[in-house]
Chain A
Amino acid sequence: MRDVVERNVEYPNVDDLMKTAKAEHLKIKAEPVKIRGAEIIVRSLIKNGVDKIFGYPGGAVLHIYDELWRFREQITHYLVRHEQGATHAAEGYARVTGKVGVVLVTSGPGATNAVTGIATAYMDSIPLVVITGQVPSTVIGTDAFQEVDTFGITLPIVKHSYLVKDVTKLEAIIDEAFQIAQSGKPGPVVIDIPKDVTAHLAEFSGEKTQFYSIGKENTLDAELLDAAIQKLLAAKKPVLYVGGGVVTADAADELMEVSELLQIPVHADSYGIRRFPVGTRQLYGNARNARDLYIEYGGFRKRSPFCRRGSL
Chain B
Amino acid sequence: MVSGQIFSSLTTDHQPLTTEMRHTLTIDVANEAGELSRIIGLFSSRGFNIETITVGKTLEPNWSRCTIVTNGDELTIEQIIKQCSRLIRVREVKAVTKLPHIEREMALIEVNAKAGPERQEVMSLVEIFRAKVVDISHDKMVLEESGASEKIDVFIEMLKPLGISNVTRSGCVAIIVCHHLKHMKRKF
Contact = CB atoms under 8 A, between A and B. Distances in A.
Q: Is the interface of B mostly helix, strand, loop or mixed?
A: loop
A151 interface: yes
A310 interface: no
Which of A151, A155, A219, A227 gathers most chain B CB within 10 Å? Answer: A155
Contact of A180 (B38, B45, B88): B88
Interface in B122-167: none
A152 B10 contact: no
Contact of B41 (A156, A163, A221): A156
Nearest to A221: B8
Interface string B20-50: 0000000000000110011001000100000
A219 B8 contact: yes
Contacts of A180: 88
B95 to A, nearest CB: 20
Interface residue tally of chain A, by bracket?
10 to 19
Given A160-B88, A180-B88, A224 B8 contact: yes
Contacts of B8: 219, 221, 224
A159 interface: yes
B7 to A, nearest CB: 8
Contacts of A156: 41, 45
Interface string A169-204: 000000000001000000000000000000000000
Interface of B: 8, 10, 33-34, 37-38, 41, 45, 87-89
Query: Lowest 10 A-B CB distances belong to which pairs?
Result: A160-B88, A155-B41, A156-B41, A155-B38, A221-B8, A224-B8, A156-B45, A180-B88, A151-B34, A155-B37
